[in-house]
Amino acid sequence: MSIERNDNSVNKYPDIRKTKTKNYTCEKKEGESKLHEKEKSYFTSSKNFSYPDIRINTKISNSRRGRVEIFIGKQLKEAISKLPNFNLSAFVREKLIEYLKSKGIEVKEYEPDLLLLVKCPYCNGKFVTSSVKTVQCKWCGKFFKVYIKRGVSRIVKIVKGNRMLLWRKLGIN
């Protein structure tokens, strides 16, 4: 028994994909959508930004998390590397706040309701954190748990807040 092939098969036209639904067959061309092309042209266009060397890429990271990647040109990167102790993210944050204030938009800074003074079990360094589960030491870089159920606590002092708030965040009644 031999299988006969239709002349209008998909193999003859590789750029066309056939999808079959209940009542009819429709053909779709594969490729990037026009919306994706518009997004690309928006980020690479110099008319959307005052500096042609700076473009914001929101595809890589989610802006809701508070991080947005900014690609700068090679010349700006070399110039910034010559400056000692220059914090680019703090600089961009300040400029954004100034720009939004000039437009009449008020931005509230995040203030945590609980601040803890924590002691690292590895290097005995003390630092302030708002996390109650796992933190990374600022000096040795090792991760450790702030509060363990066995009663081991690395909390030296509650800087802001109270014990009831701490227990609520830990899930202890």
Percent of the chain with pLDDT over 70: 59
Helix (H, G, I), strand (E, B) or coil at 14: coil
**This prediction's pTM:** 0.44
Which of 21-50 are b and which e, b meaning 16 or more Cβ less than 10 Å from the residue's Cβ? eeeeeeeeeeeeeeeeeeeeeeeeeeeeee
CA-based R_g, the chain, Å: 28
Residue 84 and residue 79: Cα distance in Å, rounded? Answer: 11
User: Between 126 and 147, whose confidence is greater?
Assistant: 126
Angle at 131 between CA 130 and CA 132, to 5 degrees: 120
The CA distances from residue 73 to 26, 39, 52, 76, 77, in Å, are 45, 20, 9, 5, 6
Give the pLDDT of residue 22.
54
Q: How confident is the model at residue 46 (pLDDT cuts 50, 70, 90)?
A: very low
Report domain extents, the chain.
34-102, 115-170
pLDDT in tens, 97-130: 899 999 999 888 888 899 999 999 999 999 999 9
Secondary element (H or E) of residue 28: strand 25-29
Residue 156 and residue 118: Cα distance in Å, rounded? Answer: 5
Looking at residue 106, the DSSP 8-state letter turns out to be -
Write the burial class of residue 78 (CB in 10 Å: 0-12 exposed, 13-18 middle, 19+ buried): exposed
Angle at 19 between CA 13 and CA 21, to 5 degrees: 150
Residue 121 and residue 12: Cα distance in Å, rounded? Answer: 67
Residues facing residue 129 across a β-bridge: 116
Q: Is the pLDDT of residue 36 over 80?
A: no
